[in-house]
């Protein structure tokens, strides 16, 4: 179970991501707005079971989109993806 601080992080990321996306911002703007949360986000991802994260992904669309972008970027940087994520934030709905 996540702590109250981790829940606050999820809500913060969600709110900021949604504001950026709602204002037609792309991934570049999202990274600028949330760069200071990445270390805490990494800790959250490493310490939280995927089944629990999936609950938050469904509830917090902005948090999910931020997570998807960072995951895709990581895959690209590690050579697991042949293309860099685009700056398009329009098609990242949780599936």
- Apex CA 23: angle with CA 82 and CA 31, to 5°? 45
Model-wide pTM > 0.85 = no
For residues 31 and 84, give the distance between their C-alpha atoms in angstroms, rounded to a whole number. Answer: 14
Tell me the per-residue pLDDT of 16-66, one tens digit each, with 9 for 90 and over: 999 999 998 888 899 999 999 999 999 999 999 999 999 999 999 999 999
- Listed by start position, the domains of the chain span 4-76
Per-residue pLDDT for 15 more than 70?
Answer: yes
pLDDT (0 to 100) of residue 27: 84
């Amino acid at each position: 179970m996540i702590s109250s601080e981790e829940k606050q992080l999820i809500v913060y990321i969600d709110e900021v991501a949604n504001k950026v996306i709602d204002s037609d911002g792309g991934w570049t703007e999202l990274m600028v707005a949330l760069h200071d949360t990445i270390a805490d986000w990494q800790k959250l991802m490493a310490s939280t079971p995927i089944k629990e994260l999936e609950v938050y992904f469904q509830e917090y669309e902005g948090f999910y989109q931020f997570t998807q972008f960072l995951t895709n970027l990581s895959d690209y940087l590690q050579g697991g993806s042949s293309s860099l994520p685009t700056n398009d934030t329009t098609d990242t709905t949780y599936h």
